[in-house]
Amino acid sequence: MSSQILNMNTEEDGYSHLNHLSQHPSRHYMSVNINQGRSLPFAVWLPAIFTLFVLCLALITGMIVLGLRGSQAPVEHNENLRGLKERLCSVGDTNIKNNGPACSLCPVNWKWIGGDTCFYISEKKATWQESKDFCFSQNSTLLTLKRKSKLIRMSHILQKQSYWIGLSYGVDGWSWMDDTKLSTQRMDWIDLSSKKNCAYLYYRKLKVYSEDCYEKYPWICEKAAVQLI
């Protein structure tokens, strides 16, 4: 009898407990949802925050370094140019131009004797026209000797040869490579004949004579030097 009463009490307690749960289902599920949607602890976010901070710091540092390099670039560029000028321009290769020292640079195998002009003195021989064509291929012209002072300066670099120069006889008489006419004023370093139409420089007397254009002589080209200020 007592066991039956105990069983009945147990069943009633179980029923009352189930009935209690069934009457408040929303409260149970709400507590579960609240627990599942709860914010993560700060310790979980700390590594991500630290990583983001490091990335921002690296970006700012990179921008500062680039800014400093940009400001130093013009200075380094000028220093490089000065160093290049010192290596290319030897002592004595400078002249006064535009109220300051200028360095005249000539290509390899070309000579500089002052001023702003480079000279090429050939070792081979060719006709006058072939010599003219060679100079043209080098962006230059055959030598022009309109003044005796230039002739005297040329004497320092001439070998014991005769050289074609940029003076020839045409329909309008003798003219230089730039199409200017030979001056009618008597010049003691020029002695020409209209029977021979091309001019050459004779090294021994430093005088200009005429010769048949098909004869073969070495030649002299000239062109402007590159100026480094």
Output the DSSP codes for 134-201: HHHHTT-EE----SHHHHHHHTTT--SSEEEEEEEEETTEEEETTSPBPPSS--TTEE--TTS-EEEE
Query: Using CA atoms, how far apart are residues 200 and 162, in angstroms rounded to an integer?
Result: 6
- Closest among 172, 168, 163 to 193, alpha carbons compared: 168
Predicted confidence at residue 34, as pLDDT, reads 41
Claim to verify: residue 121 and residue 68 sit in the same structural domain: no
Between 159 and 69, name the one with better pLDDT: 159
**96 falls within a domain:** no
When computed from its CA atoms, the radius of gyration of the chain, rounded to whole angstroms, is 49
Predicted confidence at residue 205, as pLDDT, reads 84
Q: What is the H or E stretch that residue 206 is in?
A: none
Claim to verify: residue 66 and residue 120 sit in the same structural domain: no
Claim to verify: residue 30 and residue 124 sit in the same structural domain: no
CATH number at residue 131: 3.10.100.10
Q: Is the predicted pLDDT of residue 180 greater than 90, yes or no?
A: yes
Between 229 and 181, name the one with better pLDDT: 181
Claim to verify: residue 45 and residue 121 sit in the same structural domain: no
Q: Is the predicted pLDDT of residue 29 greater than 80, yes or no?
A: no
Predicted confidence at residue 113, as pLDDT, reads 85
Claim to verify: residue 113 and residue 189 sit in the same structural domain: yes
Predicted confidence at residue 80, as pLDDT, reads 62
Between 48 and 160, name the one with better pLDDT: 160
Q: pLDDT digits over 143-169, tens only?
A: 999 988 898 888 888 888 899 999 999
**131 falls within a domain:** yes
Q: What percent of the chain has pLDDT over 90?
A: 34
Claim to verify: residue 10 and residue 105 sit in the same structural domain: no
Claim to verify: residue 115 and residue 181 sit in the same structural domain: yes
Query: Using CA atoms, how far apart are residues 85 and 105, in angstroms rounded to an integer?
Result: 10
**92 falls within a domain:** no
Claim to verify: residue 145 and residue 201 sit in the same structural domain: yes
Claim to verify: residue 107 and residue 166 sit in the same structural domain: yes
**91 falls within a domain:** no
Q: What is the pTM of this model?
A: 0.59
pLDDT band at 102 (very low <50, low <70, confident <90, very high): low
Q: Is the predicted pLDDT of residue 69 greater than 90, yes or no?
A: no
Claim to verify: residue 143 and residue 108 sit in the same structural domain: yes
Claim to verify: residue 113 and residue 180 sit in the same structural domain: yes
Claim to verify: residue 152 and residue 213 sit in the same structural domain: yes
Predicted confidence at residue 67, as pLDDT, reads 66
Q: Count the domains in the chain.
A: 2
Token pair 């003195």 in the structure block, residue = 121
3 state DSSP class of 37: coil
Query: Using CA atoms, how far apart are residues 160 and 162, in angstroms rounded to an integer?
Result: 7
**35 falls within a domain:** yes
Domain that holds residue 51: 2-81
Token pair 């949607």 in the structure block, residue = 37
Report the sign of the C-alpha dihedral through residues 97, 102, 104, 105, in that order.
negative
Decide which of 47, 81, 115 is a domain's last residue: 81
**36 falls within a domain:** yes
Decide which of 81, 116, 142 is a domain's last residue: 81
3 state DSSP class of 115: coil
Report the sign of the C-alpha dihedral through residues 121, 122, 128, 134, in that order.
negative
